[in-house]
Structure 1
Amino acid sequence: MNAQHQEFDAIDRQAAQWVDRMNRPLHDAEVAAEFDRWIMQDPRNVESYARMQAIWQSGGLQNALEGAEAGDDFGLSHDAEAPGWAAQAWKQFAAFAAVALCLVVLVSIGARAMVSESSYVAARGISRETVLPDGSKVRMSGGTRMNVRITPWSREVALLSGEAFFDVAHEKLRTFSVDTGKSSVTVLGTAFDIDLVDAETRVVRVYRGLVSVDAGAGRRWRLPAGNGIEVGGDRVRSLGEVRGDHPGWIDGWFDADDTSIQQLVQRLNRGSSLPVVMADPGLGNLLVTGRFQTSDPELVLEALAAIHDLHWRKEQARYVLSR
């Protein structure tokens, strides 16, 4: 075997190992990053991985092996008088050949052609629903921006601002991850909501399935449906019971649980045609609990005024909340 064949054999072995690793139920961001480095460093890696993944998905390997065990010669002639060990070896070779003939792989396609990259924006005051190339559905609140990268081996979202509710299409082979800059969420198929409250704070609520939240520095949590978490800097807070099958903001409501007025005002500003500003920034630290109808900003401002003895007024281009 010459050096070139040895090199291709080594690549195929690595690709097979990666198919096995990427088919496991959950893997962390470090493994995904290592895989991305390997797959992108050589176009031959992409081609080999595609072949191995096709074998895994097609079921052809299992069918071929079952055929070999049943004595099927796949239409290939061989010496009927060959010793038993030779006949068995021939059947195994025939099985492998049958699998290879079943696969149609576009080997000429490079890594870039196999990657889909898109950007999505929801204007302030308007929510937007979109369906990603893998079939996952995302509902974005007003003022939300995200980038999406779909490859044959991964599904990655970079949530840049705002809030989004993800209803992820379940797949055995590809995890679905959302990077918020300060933390990341990884799933296989589930429904969850991520809110980028400010530069430091992220809120995750799970409505179906299971998610893994990684905040770095070895901090990681697994959240099943009905649970939520708020992570901000070194602070971590478990949220109250998450009810229903989608977040309230989609229907124009916000459920506050010892939530800062700053966060509530931010929610109002995502959907309101007129922004709410606080005359005193310190008002943002006041806490509220309850269910607020964010589709009606004036009703929310009346409630805040009653709870904390505040005042509000409507100006030409904004609402002002003050002491």
Structure 2
Amino acid sequence: MNAAHQEFDEIDRQAAQWVDRMNRPLHDAEVAAEFDRWIMDDPRHVESYARFQALWQSGSLYHALQAGEEGPEDCGTAAEPAANRAPQAWKQFAAFAGAALCLVGLVSLGARALVSESRYVAAQGATRAVALADGSKVRLSGGTRMSVRMTPWSREVSLQQGEAFFDVAHEKLRTFSVNTGNSSVTVLGTAFDIDLVDHETRVVRVYRGLVSVDAGAGRQWRLPAGSGIEVGGGRVRSLGEVRGDHPGWIDGWFDADDTSVQQLVRRINRGSRLPVVLADPGLGDLLVTGRFQTSDAEMVLEAVAAIHDLQWRKEPARYVLSR
């Protein structure tokens, strides 16, 4: 066997081992980091891993394993000495790999074909429903921008602006992570909402399952369904009980809990044809609590004006809130 052939055999062996490890129910961050280093080290790693992962998930797995128990079919490879055999779990997969490699020779996928990247934007004043390739569903609020990167080993979202509600399809292998710039949320399968309130404040509410929120510098929280958190500017605030199976903004409502008027105005402006502006920036620091129908900007302005003894007016191109 020449050196090139031996090298490809070694890559396939490593890929098969990684498929076995990554398909186990749990793996820690250290294993995930080790896998990322291996998969990105060589385009051939990506190709080999994708082939073995596809075979692992295919209907041929059961039959291949059965054949392996009786003895792998002859695909031109010699059996290893008994002293070098792997543990039983690995021997079963190796038997599968030995039989399946007869099929692998027909498959040739480039690394680029295995990675899909998409960008999504919701127009100002309108929401948008997005169905991802893995079966996950995302609802974007007005003015939201998001990009998605899908690979055989990861599901990565970058939320650049606005707010999005994620209903994530559960997978044993691939976690689903959302990066917001200064924090990230990671899950396996759940439903949660992320609001980029401003350049540093993020609000996360969980409606189903469990999420992990990482704000860097060792700050990490695990949020079960029915809970929420606001992180920003070095501050952390637990939110009141999260009810229902989706956020109110999808139906045109917003539940404020000692929420700043500035944040409420941003919420209105995501869905309003006419933007709301503050005549005095200091008004943005006022706090409000209650349930507001943000799909009706004038109704919200009327309520805020009554709470804080303010005034509002409608101009041709905007609403103005003033003292």
* TM-score normalised by L of structure 1: 0.86
For residues 106-160 of structure 1, the C-alpha deviation after alignment (integer angstroms, 9 at most, x for no partner) is 32x2211211111111111011111112221111000000111111111111101
Paired letter, 1:322: S
2:65 and 2:95 in contact (8 A); partners too:
no
Aligned to 1:270: 270
1:119 and 1:146 in contact (8 A); partners too:
yes
1:133, 1:95 → 2: CA distance?
Answer: 28
Instruction: Name the Cα RMSD after superposition.
Output: 2.7
- Trace 1:168-179 onto structure 2 (pairs within 5 A): 168-179=168-179
Structure 2 gap segments, 5+ residues each:
75-81, 83-90
Q: 1:12 to 1:100 in 2, by over 3 A?
A: closer
2:311, 2:236 → 1: CA distance?
Answer: 32
**Percent same amino acid among aligned pairs?**
79
Aligned to 2:87: none
For residues 10-36 of structure 1, the C-alpha deviation after alignment (integer angstroms, 9 at most, x for no partner) is 433443443345335566778656644
Q: 1:17 to 1:280 in 2, by over 3 A?
A: farther
Aligned to 1:201: 201
How far off is 1:98 after superposition?
Answer: 2.4
Q: 1:165 to 1:94 in 2, by over 3 A?
A: closer
How far off is 1:55 after superposition?
Answer: 4.0
1:213, 1:24 → 2: CA distance?
Answer: 23
How far off is 1:74 after superposition?
Answer: 7.2
How far off is 1:99 after superposition?
Answer: 2.9
For residues 69-124 of structure 1, the C-alpha deviation after alignment (integer angstroms, 9 at most, x for no partner) is 4xx46787xxxxxxxx9xxxxx98976532323557632x2211211111111111
- Partner of 2:206, secondary structure, is strand
1:281, 1:24 → 2: CA distance?
Answer: 53
Paired letter, 1:110: G
Paired letter, 1:101: C
2:30, 2:125 → 1: CA distance?
Answer: 37
Q: 1:195 to 1:30 in 2, by over 3 A?
A: farther
Aligned to 2:138: 138
For residues 50-70 of structure 1, the C-alpha deviation after alignment (integer angstroms, 9 at most, x for no partner) is 23323432364554444454x
1:26 and 1:188 in contact (8 A); partners too:
no
How far off is 1:284 after superposition?
Answer: 1.0
- Partner of 2:246, secondary structure, is coil
Moved more, 24-33 or 151-160: 24-33
Paired letter, 1:133: A
Aligned to 1:285: 285
- Partner of 2:135, secondary structure, is coil
How far off is 1:233 after superposition?
Answer: 2.4
How far off is 1:43 after superposition?
Answer: 1.9
For residues 282-312 of structure 1, the C-alpha deviation after alignment (integer angstroms, 9 at most, x for no partner) is 1111111110000111111111111111111
1:209, 1:260 → 2: CA distance?
Answer: 29
Q: 1:234 to 1:95 in 2, by over 3 A?
A: closer
Q: 1:41 to 1:73 in 2, by over 3 A?
A: closer
Aligned to 1:261: 261
1:61 and 1:96 in contact (8 A); partners too:
no
Q: Are 1:41 and 2:41 matched, yes or no?
A: yes
1:26 and 1:187 in contact (8 A); partners too:
no
Aligned to 2:304: 304
Aligned to 2:79: none
1:275, 1:31 → 2: CA distance?
Answer: 48
1:50 and 1:105 in contact (8 A); partners too:
no
1:51 and 1:105 in contact (8 A); partners too:
no
- Partner of 1:171, secondary structure, is coil
Paired letter, 1:236: V
2:16, 2:7 → 1: CA distance?
Answer: 14
1:258 and 1:287 in contact (8 A); partners too:
yes
Paired letter, 2:180: T
Query: What is the number of equivalent residue pairs in this alignment?
Result: 307
Aligned to 1:99: 100
1:197, 1:118 → 2: CA distance?
Answer: 23
Q: 1:105 to 1:186 in 2, by over 3 A?
A: farther
For residues 239-280 of structure 1, the C-alpha deviation after alignment (integer angstroms, 9 at most, x for no partner) is 111111100000000001111111111000000000000111
- Partner of 2:263, secondary structure, is helix
Q: 1:219 to 1:175 in 2, by over 3 A?
A: same
How far off is 1:221 after superposition?
Answer: 1.0
Paired letter, 1:310: L
How far off is 1:231 after superposition?
Answer: 0.5
Aligned to 2:180: 180
- Trace 1:1-323 onto structure 2 (pairs within 5 A): 3-25=3-25, 35-58=35-58, 60-61=60-61, 63-69=63-69, 72=70, 96-103=97-104, 106-107=107-108, 109-323=109-323
2:150 and 2:156 in contact (8 A); partners too:
yes
How far off is 1:166 after superposition?
Answer: 0.8
Aligned to 1:81: none
